[in-house]
Amino acid sequence: MNKRILIISDLHIPYHHEDSFAFLREIKKEYKPDFVVNIGDLLDFHAISMHDHNPDLPSAGDELNISKEYIKELESIYPEMIEVDSNHSSLVYRRALKYGMSKQFLKDYGDFLGTKKWKWIDDLTLTMSNGQRCFFTHGRSADVLKTSQTMGMSCVQGHFHTKFVISYWANPDNLFFGMNVGCLVNQKSMAFAYAKNFRTRFINGCGIIIDGIPKLLPMVLNNKGRWIKKVV
């Protein structure tokens, strides 16, 4: 097991790229992953953000209802998936904490999203098929190698939409990697208006680890911003 580990991050549903699910279907068809982990920001929760939100985007209730339909579609592609906690996905609980609400008043993510076999955890450590361990987190540091070195094992993270890279470091005993897997968002959405003047652009894609070897899978877009319908 864990021979082919697919890592998805930062869909920010319902503000994900319109071709992201088609891309993920093709990834499943071509690579046949035996373990799937989403390392955070599955949902955007723009309407309850700690930052200013756009009043022309859906309300919190409408955003959730729209998101549930997309979640059903994603669940049909990957019925079993590990969901790692993150800054956006934890917004419901952070809001509750801010206003003094007990967790007893809140549902688990699987309950209010209606998923059956998805599991929600804080961080994840897996033993890969080559016997080495890998740490999966949303975004502990802007430098994924620092997190890898701190944990003493290879590391995969998301959070940083403009980072799509694999780097390596070694000690006398082993070679370790750090991988940033980008995102799968629609950068033109009003939810990401804060980034419209960024000099660096978001990079859409995901990552896979095959027998302990990391590989980036970019979702290449054409000049109209649509996926080219080919995994490269």
Q: Model confidence over 108-120: pLDDT tens digits?
A: 777 878 899 999 8
pLDDT of 92: 62
pTM for this entry = 0.91
Quick one: average pLDDT of 36-62?
A: 83
d(C-alpha 116, C-alpha 80), whole Å: 8
* pLDDT > 70: percent of the chain: 91
* Chain segment 168-209, per-residue pLDDT in tens: 999 999 999 999 999 999 988 877 777 777 778 899 999 999
What is the average pLDDT value for the chain, to the nearest integer? Answer: 89
Degrees, nearest 5: CA angle 69-189-63:
35
226 pLDDT band, cuts 50/70/90, is very high
> Do residues 217 and 208 touch, judged by C-beta distance below 8 A?
yes
Specify the DSSP class assigned to residue 100. T
d(C-alpha 73, C-alpha 11), whole Å: 13
pLDDT over threshold 60, residue 48? yes
d(C-alpha 67, C-alpha 87), whole Å: 17
